[in-house]
Amino acid sequence: MLLQTIAFGIAFALAATGQSSMKNPPQPYPSARKADQFDIYHGVQVHDPYRWLENLDSPETRAWIEAENRLTSAWLKKFPEREHLRKRLTELWNYERYSVPYKVAGRYFFRRNDGLQNQSVVYTQRSLEEPPEVLIDPNKLSKDGTIALKGAAVSPNGKYYAYAIAEAGSDWTEWRIRDIDSKKDLDDHLQWIKFSGVSWTADSRGFYYSRYDAPKDGDKLKEINYFPKLYYHRLGDSQAQDKLVYHRPDHKDWFFNGIATEDGRYLLIEIGRGTEEKNLLYYQDLEQPQNGIRPIIETWQASYEYLGNQGTKFWFLSNDKAPRGRIVEIDLHNPERKHWQEIVAESEDAIETASMVNNSFIIRYLHHARHKVLIKPLAGKAYALELPGIGSAGGFYGEQNATETFFSWTSFNTPARIYHLDLVNGKTTLFKEPKIRFNPEDYVTRQVFFSSRDGTRIPMFLTHHRNLERNGKNPTLLYGYGGFNISLTPYFSVTNLVWMETGGIYAMPNLRGGGEYGQEWHAAGIKTKKQNVFDDFIGAAEWLISNGYTSPKHLGISGGSNGGLLVAAVLLQRPDLFAAAVPAVGVLDMLRFNKFTIGWAWESDYGSAENEEEFKALYAYSPYHNVKPGRRYPATLVITADHDDRVYPAHSFKFTAALQAAQAGSDPILIRIETRAGHGAGKPTSKRIEEAADKLAFLRYFLTAKGSSHE
């Protein structure tokens, strides 16, 4: 959301002067061999001619990658606005920003980026008045900024900082321990950890964590991740000495999250299965370890997220008999359901998250995809926390007995502000406010509702310059996700700001498959109901067109990961609706997604080709399998990374090869393959700016200059 009126004239002048430079665009597409490869699914023969691209390191694949990057680079260099956009992105990105601080044992910890640092720096301070000290500067860990911090946990005594680093965007992390006073690392070094944090024991002598067995040589990017194990690591020991606490060789797909309670009495084990919104609960009394690990919840019936405890009374955020969430109390002495106590009942708004600070539940609700916050003390009446407006709140970290916490608030035209909250008197104070060179009052956000194909009412946020005219010709970027119970709420983005200050509209619908309205909203967009998500997105596009905001010649779509699947599926189903599409790090082969790394865990949302009914649904929309030769598809920029070990890059490779071979129109099908980068987390600022410049230059050309010339 964002910026000055004068930018409109500049942007459109750039577009107009640049049209002639694209008369002879680079061609042709790199050669991609079609192999006679097929599989049989439930009696159906399915061809997979580009499976050879799954072998990322073969000479043939490497040659194809290099040729594709050369083609894309040639196109990007010819987009007339790219350099201007890159400079503006760099200018606006250069602002100071902070993470939400948290306090442990009298110390505050937070991250700060001075603006263009590739990675944010970790700081600590004993009081809010004294100057902060650098604890870890990840920018010194690599020359190109591609080593990032992926997790951290402070020991209860405030002496040690356990932190995870990841290289080149990988999900694999290595953990080390830093002595906070000396700023030096201990000898402890833990490897082969993925999707796990650490939980310190109350005595600060060690922590619990989960890890996998080391993958075979050369297979860490591709190997399927099964059979994680829960360990206890004692400071000073080698990883080989770590104690195996819990594993289930009979369940290869179970995840383990070990949580040591603050009182030092219990180990709570949360057991998950893929990305399913259900889990089991076990515990161990650490004062009576001879009693072993005992169950609290041992059926897959709902989700239970630990919030805190007092003795044997444990509190959980759960969707058990409450699709929009509630908080329940379970006593370990009587854990049967009939003895549960409801502390916070389900309401009309879905609970997204909750935490426990000052013996109070701080509950973040979703009210039509915007946040509201309620604070409910264990003893006393609940009260609402006043927020600045339509936006998103985050943070609220702290120890269970802490009397203060911090939170962030952001919106489409407001970079994240940090607030201090005194939980004794309820006073909120602005702690940090970013200074960025634009006027937020120049931009407006409104929320609209439209009907999807089946009549379901879908919300959508629209943000643009307040002087925008609804003339049907506005370049519009429609962004979506729609999956895994993830909710899209208002957020600030420099990339979106630059898009809007050049005259663009940013539209973000809240599709089914997300968590905006609780468990039922999520369930309405998964497995055999996944088409609902695509219909919702198409409905958003049609609403924007019918209400005069834009037209197909000026409408583009974008999304990443599951959102990349969304964009690819929709551009194939309705190519007439869009002029440009940017599917990033997408899941695009829906019959083989579970064959790589952690892909099997997504079956809870997507289903599996091994199930005949689910296969039919998957095959009906799988982007790779639904490319139709001879059709005119919109200009497409596929984005992926060579180190993405979450969504294997071959998804994007195979889809691009198929779409290039099928394209009957003159608009290009391009792929941008980032090097030394992964799924997105931890990407250096320099790479983020370059990618944003490429994306915006691509969209600006195909939604403005090219579109205008074809009116």
Sign of the dihedral defined by the CA atoms of residues 539, 540, 543, 544, in that order: negative
Give Rg (Cα) of the chain. 25
Rounded to whole angstroms, the maximal C-alpha distance in the chain is: 79
Q: pLDDT averaged over the chain? A: 92
The count of other CB atoms within 10 Å of the CB of residue 279 is 21
- Rounded to 5 degrees, φ, ψ at 146 are -95, 5
CA 685, distance to chain mean position in Å, is 17
Residues forming beta bridges with residue 372, ordered by sequence position: 365
Known active-site residue 679 = yes
Same domain, 462 and 427: no
d(CA 468, CA 654): 40
Q: Which of 435, 453, 477 is the last residue of a domain?
A: 435
Q: Distance of CA 258 to CAs 131, 199, 648, Å?
A: 35, 7, 28
Distances (CA, A) of 456 to 344, 453, 530, 540: 29, 7, 14, 12
What are the distances in angstroms from CA 623 to CA 100, 210, 362?
39, 34, 41
Provide mean pLDDT across the span 664-670.
Answer: 95
**Is residue 119 in a domain?**
no
In a domain, 628, yes or no: yes
**What confidence tier does 26 reach under pLDDT thresholds 50, 70, 90?**
low
Domain shared by 431 and 442, yes or no: no
| Domains: count for the chain | 2
Whether pLDDT at 15 is above 80 = no
Residues 419 and 462 in one domain: no
- Output the pLDDT for position 230: 98
> Of 580, 582, 590, nearest to 614 (Cα)?
590
CATH of the domain at 448: 3.40.50.1820
- The answer to whether residue 602 sits within a structural domain is yes
Q: What pLDDT, on a 0 to 100 scale, did the predictor assign at position 706? A: 62
- pLDDT for the residue numbered 228: 94
Same domain, 428 and 552: no
Note the pLDDT of residue 678. 52
In contact, 554 and 608? CB cutoff 8 Å: no
Determine the average pLDDT of the residues in 566-575: 98
Task: State the catalytic residue, choosing from 99, 120, 558, 561.
Answer: 561
Asked if 522 is an active-site residue, the reply is no
**513 torsion bin: left (phi>0), alpha (psi -120 to 50), beta (else):** left
Report if residue 136 sits inside a domain.
Answer: no
- Comparing 315-329, 408-422, 625-639, 675-689, which segment has the lowest mean pLDDT? 675-689
HEC secondary structure over 404-439: EEEEEEEECCEEEEEEEEECCCCCEEEEECCCCCCC
Instruction: Quote the pLDDT of residue 20.
Output: 34
Checking if the pLDDT of 21 tops 50, the result is: no
Same domain, 582 and 442: yes
36 found inside a domain? no
If asked whether residues 615 and 652 sit together in one domain, one would say: yes
Neighbouring C-alpha atoms within 13 Å toward the C-beta of 395: 24
Domain end: 418, 435, 452, which one?
435
Residue 489: pLDDT band (50, 70, 90) is: very high
For 537, the enclosing helix (H) or strand (E) is helix 531-546
Residues 454 and 403 in one domain: no
Looking at the structure, do residues 526 and 425 belong to the same domain, yes or no?
A: no
- Give the residue-averaged pLDDT of 107-128: 95
Domain coverage including residue 495: 6-19+438-680+694-709
pTM tops 0.95, yes or no: no
Do residues 256 and 284 make contact, with C-beta atoms less than 8 angstroms apart?
no
Judging by DSSP bridges, how do beta strands 443-451 and 107-113 pair with one another? unpaired
At 683 the pLDDT is 78
Are 570 and 481 part of one and the same domain? yes
Q: Which DSSP string do the residues of 78-108 spell out, in sequence order?
A: H-TTHHHHHHHHHHHH-S-EEPPPEEETTEE
Neighbours of 546 (CB within 10 A): 10
Confidence of residue 535 (pLDDT cuts 50, 70, 90): very high
Is the pLDDT at 697 greater than 70? The verdict is yes
Residues 541, 460 share a domain: yes
Which of the listed residues 435, 466, 497 is the one where a domain comes to its end? 435
Can you give the three-state secondary structure of 163-212, one letter per residue? EEEEECCCCCEEEEEEECCCCEEEEEEEEEECCCCCEECCCCCEEEEEEC
Residue 152 — left, alpha, or beta (φ > 0 → left; ψ -120 to 50 → alpha)?
beta
pLDDT in tens, 610-662: 999 999 999 999 999 999 999 999 999 999 987 677 888 999 999 999 999 99
Q: Is 61 helix (H, G, I), strand (E, B) or coil?
A: helix
Q: Are 657 and 29 in contact (CB under 8 A)?
A: no
**Separation of alpha carbons 15 and 37, rounded Å:** 44
Give the Cα separation of 469 and 147 in Å (integer).
Answer: 45
- Shared domain for 379 and 522, answered yes or no, is no
Do residues 48 and 39 make contact, with C-beta atoms less than 8 angstroms apart? yes
Distance from the Cα of residue 561 to its chain's centroid: 8
Asked if residue 221 has pLDDT above 90, the reply is no
Q: Is residue 270 part of a domain?
A: no
Quote the pLDDT of residue 59: 95
Q: Kindly indicate the confidence band of residue 677, based on its pLDDT and cuts at 50, 70 and 90.
A: low
Mean pLDDT over residues 186-197, rounded? 95
pLDDT at 224: 77
Which residues, including other chains, have CB under 8 Å from residue 660's CB and lie 6 or more apart? 29, 32, 669
Phi-psi region of 270 (alpha: psi -120 to 50; beta: other; left: phi over 0): beta
pLDDT tens-digit map of 286-328: 999 999 999 999 999 999 999 999 999 999 999 999 999 999 9
Give 23's pLDDT tier (boundaries 50, 70, 90): very low
Q: In this structure, is residue 299 part of a structural domain?
A: no
Q: How confident is the model at residue 8 (pLDDT cuts 50, 70, 90)?
A: very low
- Do 502 and 529 share a domain, yes or no? yes
Q: Determine, yes or no, domain membership for 659.
A: yes
